[in-house]
Amino acid sequence: MNAIGVENLNVWFGKGRDRNQAVSDVSFAVRTGESFGLVGESGSGKSTILRAITGLVPSWSGRMEIAGIALGKARSRQFYKTVQMVFQDPYASLHPRHSVDQVLGEALKLHGFRDVDQRIERLLKDVGLGPAFRFRYPHQLSGGQRQRVAIARALAPEPDILLLDEPTSALDVSVQAEILNLLTDLRAENGLTYVMVSHDLAVIGHMCERLAVMQAGRIVEEMTVEDMRALRSTEPYTKQLLESSLGYTRET
Amino acid sequence: MSLIEVEDLWVRFPTRTGVFDAVRGVSFSLGRERLGIVGESGSGKSMTGRAILRLIRPPGKVEATHIAVEGDDILKMSERQMRDVRGQRISMIMQDPKFSLNPVMTVGDQIIEAYTQAHGSRANAREKTLEMLDAVAIRDAERVMRAYPHEMSGGMGQRIMIAMMMIPNPSVLIADEPTSALDVSVQTQVLRIMDRLVSERGMGLIFISHDLNLVSAFCDRVLIMYAGRVVETCRADRLHEAEHPYTRGLLNSLPRLDAPRRRLEVLKRDPAWSDPGSVRGSS
Ligand SMILES: Nc1ncnc2c1ncn2[C@@H]1O[C@H](COP(=O)(O)OP(=O)(O)OP(=O)(O)O)[C@@H](O)[C@H]1O
Ligand SMILES: Nc1ncnc2c1ncn2[C@@H]1O[C@H](COP(=O)(O)OP(=O)(O)OP(=O)(O)O)[C@@H](O)[C@H]1O
Ligand SMILES: [Mg+2]
Ligand SMILES: [Mg+2]
């Protein structure tokens, strides 16, 4: 069964000369328990697709399904118990005047958990933050520490589907390894489904089975991770992307 | 003369549980080169960069024997003089690009304003702005100029910041995770621009990044920070031969496209790493 089905999705912003077609005729499906990657050009619509699924874009057309049920305009609380998103920008996604304790406490209470205290401790531990961080405010955290709080908040309602928008690009590699291992374990233990956006192809290779490559609002190619590793691709854009991922070379 | 000379820098924050030292006795110098700073999250990389521009917010405190910018000690400057340093001599690309842009002003107006301030005239500001956006590989520059920061994708916000910071033609650029939201091909273009500013105009670049492979390929020298100290310094192209167990641990925790593994190695921290004094990071 498919956890996520997207068919002919279009998303646009603005009108007149400022109309911007951010996503054009995008279709893909993610099976339950699968981990699916979205990669591609900056500004190509990756975040917008995830935001459309979570109900955060004003104008779209096409069809989106979660566990076989079509999504309409609004999203219910039950939806957010099933689907959670980790946002690309850890600065914008945390309320500046809410402590870590408040952020996690509210997420837990909203979804009806009682043992809030223990769960907060558990969540912090899972994302590699000690209890000392519990009463800090966002401005007292480094970039990576904020992102870990955002991940903990997404895990709070114990969702089935996680939409991860560059979840580790603000993290150093050792914390990245901890978070990726945690995500791997959670998926194995609870059969979670992931859609993961990353510009780091090695991270996608580590986490996903299949991926879609995007450019200018469209999916130009869908491929397996084995194909990506072997640099097997038919599309010129994908080829270019895979080649640049081999590393930076100086001009001089 | 070095462009920047930092001697025994400390950044301290009072907290509920006592004073927290975010940076502990860091010393280094920067010439006309690409100096990388790597290290785990919370190790004090951003605070080191911000301290050089005196951008640590109270109650945080900066102490140092000196922080010299082209020979002038910024710790002795007035706030007015500091504004000139920030505007003209040192630019910083902040880790949180959208946070540093004005949310209620269009992208175009912000870049034009930055240009006008730096060059004292509005003449050609519009063309220059379009040129800048084009240089950082923004398609659709006309639309982007009319848009507001929240209407930009993550990587677009980052590139707009980069374009703005290069306008005053600074002697030093501090770039805090400048390419973390960029896809690899755009990343390459942006790095080329910075590369040229160093090799052609003699700018000094402090490049803060988590990406060890990138730092190794792009930079000349690297400082490796742990718990507020510099634990090791080396030539960037020798980063893969680094010896400190912390640096080795960082290198081993990277996922690799060519060598898949079921689990990633996780760093086992040794309390001894945070004990001794900082290593000097002078060339
Ligand atoms: N709120 C908005 N209002 C107007 N335009 C928007 C808005 N959000 C995104 N866009 C536009 O939609 C397009 C796609 O943006 P999106 O954030 O999905 O890109 P992305 O693939 O996630 O890029 P990145 O890798 O840089 O994060 C861009 O042209 C962007 O300017
Ligand atoms: N206002 C504050 N009060 C207390 N501690 C703070 C404050 N601001 C920052 N810190 C702490 O200072 C330390 C260094 O922060 P810094 O932002 O320099 O880290 P970093 O190396 O840039 O990390 P990252 O890679 O995650 O961005 C962190 O442990 C952070 O929690
Ligand atoms: Mg995005
Ligand atoms: Mg930082």
Regarding predicted confidence, which is higher, B171 or A245? B171
Name A122's Cβ contacts closer than 8 Å, sequence gap at least 6: none
Task: For A80-107, write each residue's pLDDT tens digit.
Answer: 999 999 988 766 778 889 999 999 999 9
Residue A251 lies inside a defined structural domain of this protein: no
Residues 186-245 of B with CB under 8 A from A: 186-188, 191-192, 195-196, 199, 210-214, 217-218
Query: At residue B219, what is the residue type?
Result: C
Regarding predicted confidence, which is higher, A4 or B163? A4
Domains in chain A, number: 1
Rounded distance from Cα B152 to ligand 1 centre (Å): 5
Residue A203 lies inside a defined structural domain of this protein: yes
pLDDT confidence of residue A252: 58
Q: For residue A197, what is the domain's CATH number?
A: 3.40.50.300
Count the neighbouring beta carbons within 10 Å of the beta carbon of residue A240.
15
Query: Per-residue pLDDT for A163 more than 80?
Result: yes
Q: A171 and B41: CB-CB below 8 Å?
A: yes
pLDDT confidence of residue B283: 62
| Long-range own/partner contacts, residues A19-24 (CB < 8 A, 24 or more apart) | A20/B140, A20/B143, A21/A217, A22/A48, A22/A217, A23/A48, A23/A49, A23/A52, A23/A60, A23/A217, A24/A216, A24/A217, A24/A218
- pLDDT tier for residue A178 given thresholds of 50, 70 and 90: confident
Test mutation, B93, B145, B185, chain A, max A CBs within 10 A:
B185
pLDDT confidence of residue A1: 84
Residue A156 lies inside a defined structural domain of this protein: yes
- pLDDT tier for residue A62 given thresholds of 50, 70 and 90: very high
pLDDT confidence of residue B269: 77
pLDDT confidence of residue B261: 86
Shortest Cα–Cα distance, B138 to chain A (Å): 9
A236 has a chain B CB within 8 A of its CB: no
Residues with CB under 6 A from ligand 1: A 13-14, 20, 22, 42-48, 88; B 150-156, 181
Name A58's Cβ contacts closer than 8 Å, sequence gap at least 6: A13
Residue A252 lies inside a defined structural domain of this protein: no
Structural domains in chain B, CATH included, are 4-89+172-281 (3.40.50.300), 99-169 (no CATH)
In a 3-state reduction of DSSP, which class is residue B142? helix
Domain of A10, in residue numbers = 2-246
pLDDT confidence of residue B280: 76
Task: For A102-153, write each residue's pLDDT tens digit.
Answer: 999 999 999 999 999 999 999 999 888 888 899 999 888 887 788 889 989 9
Residue A35 lies inside a defined structural domain of this protein: yes
Of B147, B214, B257, the CB nearest to A205: B257
Please, are residues A45 and A66 in contact by the beta-carbon 8 Å criterion? Answer: no
A15 has a chain B CB within 8 A of its CB: no
pTM above 0.90, yes or no: no
Distance separating alpha carbons of residues B121 and B113, to the nearest angstrom: 10
- Burial category of B72 from C-beta neighbours within 10 Å (exposed 0-12, middle 13-18, buried 19 and up): middle
Distance separating alpha carbons of residues B279 and B229, to the nearest angstrom: 8
Compute the average pLDDT of residues A54-71: 95
pLDDT confidence of residue B236: 93
Of B151, B154, B212, the CB nearest to A89: B154
pLDDT confidence of residue B276: 65
Shortest Cα–Cα distance, A136 to chain B (Å): 9
Residues on chain A touching B260 (C-beta within 8 angstroms) = 205-206, 229
pLDDT confidence of residue B273: 76
Test mutation, A17, A23, A41, A42, chain B, max B CBs within 10 A:
A42
Ligand nearest to the CA of B180: 1
ipTM above 0.90, yes or no: no
Name A2's Cβ contacts closer than 8 Å, sequence gap at least 6: A29, A30, A31, A32, A65, A67, A68
pLDDT confidence of residue A175: 81
Nearest CA to ligand 2 atom 20: B42
Query: Per-residue pLDDT for A16 more than 90?
Result: no
Distance separating alpha carbons of residues B280 and B84, to the nearest angstrom: 29
Task: Average pLDDT across each block of 10 residues of chain B; the chain has 283 residues. List them in order.
Answer: 94 90 96 94 93 93 95 94 89 80 91 86 87 87 92 88 87 91 84 90 93 91 93 92 85 86 83 73 68
Residue A194 lies inside a defined structural domain of this protein: yes
Residue A222 lies inside a defined structural domain of this protein: yes
pLDDT confidence of residue B238: 92
Compute the average pLDDT of residues A220-249: 89
Nearest CA to ligand 2 atom 27: A143
High-pLDDT (> 70) share of chain A, %: 98
A59 has a chain B CB within 8 A of its CB: no
Residues 250-269 of B with CB under 8 A from A: 250, 253-258, 260-261, 263-267
Query: Per-residue pLDDT for A247 more than 80?
Result: no
Residue A220 lies inside a defined structural domain of this protein: yes
Count the neighbouring beta carbons within 10 Å of the beta carbon of residue B215.
23
Count the neighbouring beta carbons within 10 Å of the beta carbon of residue A34.
18
Q: B250 and A241: CB-CB below 8 Å?
A: no
pLDDT confidence of residue B98: 66
